[in-house]
Amino acid sequence: MSNAPFELNPFDLELTAAGASPAEVEAKALVLGAWTVDGRAQLADVELPAEATEAITAALTTLKATGKQDSTTVLAGAAGVKAPLVVVAGLGEQGAAASTTNERIRRAAGAAVRAAAGAESVALALPAADTDAAVAAAEGAVLGVYADTRFKSTIGADDEVEAEAPEARRLLVCAPAGEGLEQGLARALVLGRQMAYTRDLVNTPANLLYPESFVASVQAHAPEGVEIEVIDDEQLREMGAGAIYGVGMGSARKPRVAVLRYRGKGGKHLSMVGKGITFDTGGISLKPAQGMTTMKCDMGGAAAVAGAVFAAAELGLENAVTGYLALAENMPSANAQRPGDVVTALNGLTVEVLNTDAEGRLAMCDALVMASRENPDVLVDIATLTGAAVMALGDRTIGVMSNDDELRAAVAGTSERTGEPIVGMPIPEEVPEQLVSPVADLKNITGYGKPCGMQSAAAYLQRFVGAVGGEDHVTGDAEQIMWAHLDIAGPAFHEGSPWGYTPAGGTGSGVRTLLALAEELPLA
């Protein structure tokens, strides 16, 4: 029995390669793909009997299927196919660039398994030209089956409330055996499990998820090979971590920093810092009511770090990975910090708090100092940090900023492999100067209504990366560790209807990128 402080959705999933042709595979549902050709769905090439191809093609024509990306057409079987249900998933315009084909397959698989809800076994026969494409289909399927049902209930005849649980799933990938297929499917299953955990954390309401319970959850969920150190509020105060301590002052639920260590097998060292504001009211700089409705998701960065560290441990990566979860609840109260307060961060820098709703960077800066003290080869932070990122990049794209152009390009370059859209952004040279305070070393915002909000947050965080303490940190001339900042304010939480493999609610944004970095550790 789990000792976790709140329930997680069951992850009871089997993922294997099918040992039979698509028409003969034993499954309750068969997933096929269709391209858009002249506005109509055209069945993608796959090994099927002629009668099956003819029947499915006729049905697509009758139903006026388009084959558009994320669309699905559900058929009650087809002649020559054993599966009683056939789901045709749209792949978009035929002739798509090779660099986007795997992501199209990934999204099609996710949409299809959701359309086949209730089928206890699903076979995927999407057009996979190679092992990478077959693994992409597997990834899309394991991400697409996620549904958060923990807080739903059904009233039985005896008026007892029974929790509704998703059915267990068996997923089969119809692909020829190839080098790396078995390993790729195993990785996809680990990714699915840890993405589900990340999504569960983001979706858990703030009355259940707060710094102490977040820590208890990672302790209960951590796989073998992960060591966990917990720094409580009193320790934070005594060690001089005044920035994160100040953020948590207004809440009865005090801040924590959890350090998750996977020591690897002698490779390089990647450190990751995640913003973990378990609920963000804005503090004394109170948000409007409509701005608070999704603020349980403001710990999405910390959740992504936990998921990535756990996945790295499960996969037994060569490289060491350390995650720092900067956990606090930002509440207004008689004890809350005020606009104009000055706090001292762990590296000795003083910060004038002009806006208590710019709290994420305050919580993270102390964790960045902790990470810097271990001198990792690469340091990455991830956060639902700025509305400016949403204004600039929309709801689906991550922004990455860095103190190293090559690292920024390498992080953005993981997108082709992972499917997570990332755009590299510069930190203009004039922005750091705008963070200088007349009464302290720094201020936590450049000013109300100022441009470059995403980059100014990154410039603030950069001051806490590298050599710790001394005049160099005051002047900003400290020797820098190779560092990148990921702003996931847009893609971390999806308020609309599910699409592709993306569910409503917490998405798990950033986990795939962080795991890819842990596997490859670029430039280190």
Residue 461: Cβ within 10 Å count: 21
Crossing angle of helices 453-462 and 360-372, rounded to 10°: 30
Q: Is 258 helix (H, G, I), strand (E, B) or coil?
A: strand
Crossing angle of helices 181-203 and 300-315, rounded to 10°: 150
Which segments within 384-453 are labelled E, that is strand? Answer: 398-402, 422-424, 442-443
59-68, long-range: CB < 8 A, 24+ apart? 60/34, 60/88, 64/40, 65/34, 65/40, 65/41, 65/90, 66/36, 66/39, 66/40, 66/41, 66/90, 67/34, 67/35, 67/36, 67/37, 67/40, 67/41, 67/42, 67/91, 67/92, 68/36, 68/92
Q: Which residues participate in the annotated binding site for Mn(2+)?
A: 275, 280, 298, 357, 359
d(CA 363, CA 359): 6
Residue showing tokens 């920035």: 243
Smallest Cα–Cα separation from 435: which of 468, 401, 459? 459
Q: Which residues participate in the annotated binding site?
A: 275, 280, 298, 357, 359
d(CA 364, CA 369): 9
What is the torsion angle, in degrees rounded to the nearest 10, for the CA atoms of residue 448, residue 361, residue 335 and residue 242? -130
d(CA 328, CA 295): 13
Residue type, 265: K
State the Cα angle at 206 between 203 and 207, rounded to 5°: 125
DSSP 319: S
d(CA 415, CA 418): 5
Backbone angles phi, psi at 90, to 5 degrees: -70, 140
Crossing angle of helices 211-221 and 181-203, rounded to 10°: 160
d(CA 302, CA 492): 11
Q: How far is CA 219 from the centre of its chain?
A: 19
Q: Any catalytic annotation for residue 265?
A: no
Contact between residue 368 and residue 244 where contact means Cβ atoms under 8 Å apart: no
Catalytic residue among 254, 361, 408, 463: 361
Q: Any catalytic annotation for residue 28?
A: no
Catalytic residue among 287, 338, 396, 417: 287
Question: Which residues belong to the active site?
Answer: 287, 361
